[in-house]
Structure 1
């Protein structure tokens, strides 16, 4: 037969004293990379495309994004957004300059369905995050919650093109991962 005795839990002999919380210091929010929009969606228009050559090219780039770029944003993002130097993002990352905003607004409208002019997003907080020889992500940094929201990826570095580094045939790329993934 089962033992039906209920065991009593003894009271602790040591109860730590509660310490008051200092409210004079602001609470430091952790940095967050929040994927809330359709930021990996492909788009082709005017002088921009983020289509890929083929499925292997797409897989390679997304793997690099997940395994290298996003961890680097977590590691250095807070320093970057606070203007501190000494990160891998220093050389190429920047607040989006005004002369590029029309292009960015058009892409964001198509990719994410957001109108930057009318939406809550403040265009003065649109960032171009870039690592040397790597991925470029355009996104919105919201200071009040220490969060970066990616809006789209500039796989071919076309927001700030450079004839020495851009592939000449990027406009021929036709692999659209959005169409390929609709069966899911």
Structure 2
């Protein structure tokens, strides 16, 4: 008689996480590492009248993303958190205060919706990300702010504050950012879906033409 396979028992009390833990960089002491493992970290969203990190256009979005991966990450890799925090003008510091933390939670909820289309498990994901986390703003000089949870030399990125709205600057926040609507991640995904749909429609048209041609030949 074959042995019956034992069923794996799932611990329902275990906390669901927003990312695969194995994909997290291991914490080490040293210069700054930015962890992009949250699937929504490069998306854009808005919290009405309080925050937006939408960008103006496709070109503007590409320029910003290029700066992230060709300039900012290289800059961070040459510095540590203590140096950044103590250096004037870097805008790198801990995020404290219930008002700021609640705003970050609202932004995270909107980002999760933008990324996967619904609120499913959003509150649990946010709780696991924010509860007891050491929240930080990591500033790239004269540029965007990286918002996330710090652990050692690693910042687990939540989102980009392109317009400096978590900590507003009256000398900077003079543009109508709330009219911006471009999200590179979401728009690119929609464009890809449109291309796939167009390709499927074209394939069906070709199939219909071939079928009609064969049918016509058979009837001759």
> TM-score by structure 2 length?
0.60
Aligned to 1:33: 34
Is 2:41–2:158's contact at 8 Å kept on the other side of the alignment? yes
CA contact (8 A) 2:51 2:165 kept: yes
**Which residue of structure 2 aligns with residue 96 of structure 1?**
95
**1:75-105: CA deviation from partner (whole Å, max 9, x where unpaired):** 11xx31xx34687676411111213111111
d(CA) in 1 for partners of 2:62 and 2:110? 23
* Equivalent residues in 2 for 1:23-172, closer than 5 Å: 32-37=33-38, 38-46=40-48, 47-76=50-79, 79-80=80-81, 83-84=82-83, 91-98=90-97, 99-112=99-112, 113=122, 115=124, 118-119=127-128, 121-143=130-152, 146-172=153-179
Cα distance change on mapping 1:104 and 1:29 into 2, 3 Å: same
Aligned length: 152
Gaps of 5+ in 1: 1-26
Assess if the C-alpha contact under 8 Å between 1:105 and 1:115 holds in 2.
Answer: no
96-105 vs 28-37, which moves further = 28-37
Whether the aligned pair in 2 keeps the contact of 1:52 and 1:173 (CA below 8 Å) is yes
Q: Find the residue that maps to 2:78 and give its secondary structure.
A: helix
Q: 1:67 to 1:89 in 2, by over 3 A?
A: farther
Report the alpha carbon displacement of residue 169 of structure 1 after superposing the two structures with TM.
1.3
Q: By how many angstroms is 1:166 displaced? A: 1.6
- CA–CA distance in structure 2, aligned partners of residues 163 and 85 of structure 1: 22
Distance 2:139 2:76 in 1: 10
Match of 1:175 among 177, 182, 193: 182
Matched residue of 2:77: which SS?
helix
- Once the two structures are TM-superposed, the CA of residue 123 in structure 1 deviates from its matched residue by 4.6
